[in-house]
Structure 1
């Protein structure tokens, strides 16, 4: 059986000697996988370090694991890709977070744009973000990533534009773009270390939003002749960037 991987948050480590696993992770290890004292684990601290460990104690409060040595995992992409998707309906945001994490996204900044259908109260938005963070953690564990993508709180489109990296690149995926495709835009310039990708809601971005993005230095691009759902477009865009400039393929 593949050795289970668990991200252990700060505050659950005792130096680098042992870790305390609680909540859903502990229940999954003990009730689903039926692990007991003596079972092997791979623990990750969320900063890129991994450790081989052994379960020493299981009780109703959680699982205590003792570190037995360092472990190696495949490196995360050297290129940092931040996906900025407009909120999508139903479970599409969950699918987007999961698949983008598997592909190699570094951060996700969900935004409310002009045509966003989903409207969330601050309380509900907070619960959604916590859910997306949990999905990102589970996806990172499953695909052997050493880092969990940063899932930021929901913000407005114009506020996300203010986060564009100096010296990086930003691409604004717009279905009205007819002149430049994402592949062409990537191949026409030298690779950079950080990329922002903006994807629109079900109704697409408005011309005013496109103008605001390009005024901030983003390049308007398309993904080709077919109109993709917002969750599909985000994953395809991340994959294309990491294929051209990163570690895919």
Structure 2
């Protein structure tokens, strides 16, 4: 068979959102991967930070399992591509330079909501058109939240970074990424 032309997949989001998820306890990462793939995530990068209870494992078997979960979720939800799950990295070693916006969910952020940060980064209507094409990183902390110095480091090292509030309640780590992704998709994709 020969390809005649390229066409965008209608089930794929216009914007590419990568989740940088701090390692949660007790196998919750599989649930996070499954649901975020269903919601339209572009890629998932597991990370560890100072308050992570779980110790990082760079086991090939875990990575294969996580990517199999992503594959099954992509198939179930009719995705046109399978999001990649990367090897665990230290949050301080992550490179955010290729992103148009880097949004770190921070429980102590009192001034900037996700909606405000998106409007500042992309304008009132950008992203809701057929153009899209923004590369966005969302960063979710562990069960104990981020150390203030970790948030400061991300903000200092990435000009596109902004700490954001996800609302009046503090969400569990397994809920925060899904909620933030759903809010982001609603705001940018309508």
User: 1:44-95: per-residue Cα shift (whole Å, max 9, x none)?
Assistant: xxxx99xxxxxxxxxxxxxxxxxxxxxx963311200000010001121111
**Larger relative strand fraction:** 1
Aligned partner of 2:129 in structure 1 is none
| Partner residue of 1:119 out of 51, 55, 68 | 55
For residues 88 and 105 of structure 2, what CA distance do their matches in structure 1 show? 19
Structure 1 outlier segments of 4+, above 4 Å? none
Deviates most, 193-202 or 235-244: 235-244
Alignment of 1:176 onto 2:121: no
The number of residue pairs the alignment matches comes to 176
Aligned partner of 2:86 in structure 1 is 152
For residues 212 and 73 of structure 1, what CA distance do their matches in structure 2 show? 37
Alignment of 1:139 onto 2:82: no
Alignment of 1:245 onto 2:188: yes
Alignment of 1:164 onto 2:105: no
Alpha-carbon contact 1:74-1:144 (below 8 Å) kept: no
**Larger relative helix fraction:** 2
Aligned partner of 2:45 in structure 1 is 109
Pair member with larger Rg: 1
| Partner residue of 1:235 out of 165, 174, 178 | 178
CA distance 1:73–1:170, change in 2 (3 Å): closer
Give the superposed CA RMSD.
Answer: 2.0
For residues 226 and 213 of structure 1, what CA distance do their matches in structure 2 show? 23
Report the Cα offset of residue 108 of structure 1. Answer: 0.4
Aligned partner of 1:26 in structure 2 is none
Report the Cα offset of residue 187 of structure 1. Answer: 2.3
Aligned partner of 1:195 in structure 2 is 136
For residues 158 and 211 of structure 1, what CA distance do their matches in structure 2 show? 11
Report the Cα offset of residue 178 of structure 1. Answer: 0.8
Gaps of 5+ in 2: 127-132
Alignment of 1:185 onto 2:121: no
For residues 137 and 178 of structure 2, what CA distance do their matches in structure 1 show? 13
What TM-score, normalized to structure 1? 0.66
Aligned partner of 1:87 in structure 2 is 23
User: 1:151-203: per-residue Cα shift (whole Å, max 9, x none)?
Assistant: 1111110111x23315x111011001111111121123324611000000000
3-state DSSP class of the match of 1:83?
strand
What TM-score, normalized to structure 2? 0.86
